């Protein structure tokens, strides 16, 4: 019985595989990581795995915004979800490990010849980035109202507190990944 439950938890946590690149977006040049996107006046620079990719704004047809949640392991818990008794799968349940949930914004950049999918872990400048994209004439599809949400809840703690209450229902309604998997701080 115990192995069966452990297997179910492990499968649930890792259920959603993704082809998205996990990356930090920046509007200003204050880079503190090796994998990031830098939104410039006429282009987007993508630095990933020691490679530089550039997308001119003219190549972009639209940008689609979405959201996901991830369980976050700051590195103090063994990275084996089958051994966790997780607190955050449903509101109000309890367990022995307080597994934090973080929320990331998905950005799909639809170009003329390809679609690029990113999961953005830095929400600090996301509202400004969305405004920047709109000001440069790029169509931004934001059916979830992420821009408005980020403007209302400027403090990340307050934003996550709000999303802890509302995201499970929104994820179910909009078929969003909740959780997409585990993000580990190595």
Kindly list the domain boundaries of the chain, sorted by start residue. 2-184
pLDDT at 163: 92
Q: What value does the mean pLDDT of the chain take?
A: 76
Check whether 141 has a pLDDT greater than 70: yes
- Where are the alpha helices (H) located in the chain, listed in sequence order? 2-13, 126-135, 146-152, 156-174
Q: What pLDDT does residue 25 have?
A: 74
Burial class (CB in 10 A: 0-12, 13-18, 19+), 69: buried
Q: How does residue 124 score in pLDDT terms, banded at 50, 70 and 90?
A: confident
- If one compares 176 and 9, the residue with the highest pLDDT of the two is 176
**How far apart are the C-alpha atoms of 99 and 85, rounded to whole Å?**
9
What SS3 class is residue 55?
strand
C-alpha to C-alpha distances, 85 to 20, 22, 78, 185, nearest whole angstrom: 28, 26, 12, 20
Residue 78 or residue 36, greater confidence: 36
* 3-class state of residue 1 by DSSP: coil
Quickly state the pLDDT bin for 48 (edges 50, 70, 90): confident
pLDDT the model gives residue 51 = 83
More confident position, 72 or 51: 51
**How far apart are alpha carbons 83 and 81 in whole angstroms?**
5
Q: What is the pLDDT of residue 82?
A: 47
In whole angstroms, give the CA distance from residue 149 to residue 156.
11
Counting DSSP H helices and E strands in the chain, the numbers are 4, 9
Pick the CATH number of 2-184 from 1.10.12.10, 3.50.50.60, 2.30.29.30, 3.30.1330.10: 2.30.29.30
The per-residue pLDDT for 41 is 86
Q: 74: which 2 tokens?
A: 């700051």
Mean pLDDT in residue range 34-56 = 84
pTM (predicted TM-score): 0.73
CA distance 102 to 154: 15
Q: Model confidence over 63-119: pLDDT tens digits?
A: 999 999 887 766 655 555 544 444 444 444 554 445 678 899 999 999 988 888 998
């Amino acid at each position: 019985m115990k192995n069966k439950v452990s297997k179910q938890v492990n499968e649930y946590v890792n259920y959603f595989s993704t082809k998205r690149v996990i990356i930090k977006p920046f509007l200003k040049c204050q880079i503190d990581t090796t994998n990031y996107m830098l939104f410039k006046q006429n282009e987007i620079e993508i630095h990933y795995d020691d490679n530089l990719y550039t997308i001119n704004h003219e190549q972009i047809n639209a940008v689609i915004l979405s959201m996901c949640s991830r369980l976050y392991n700051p590195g103090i818990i063994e990275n084996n979800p089958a051994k966790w008794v997780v607190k955050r799968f449903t509101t109000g349940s309890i367990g022995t490990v307080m597994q934090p949930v973080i929320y990331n914004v998905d950005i799909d950049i639809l170009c003329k010849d390809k679609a690029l999918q990113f999961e953005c872990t830095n929400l600090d400048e996301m509202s400004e980035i969305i405004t920047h994209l709109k000001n440069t004439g790029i169509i931004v599809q934001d059916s979830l109202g992420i821009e408005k949400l980020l403007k209302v809840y400027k403090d990340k703690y307050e934003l996550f507190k709000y999303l802890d209450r509302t995201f499970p229902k929104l994820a179910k309604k909009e078929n969003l990944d909740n959780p997409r998997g585990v993000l580990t701080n190595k």
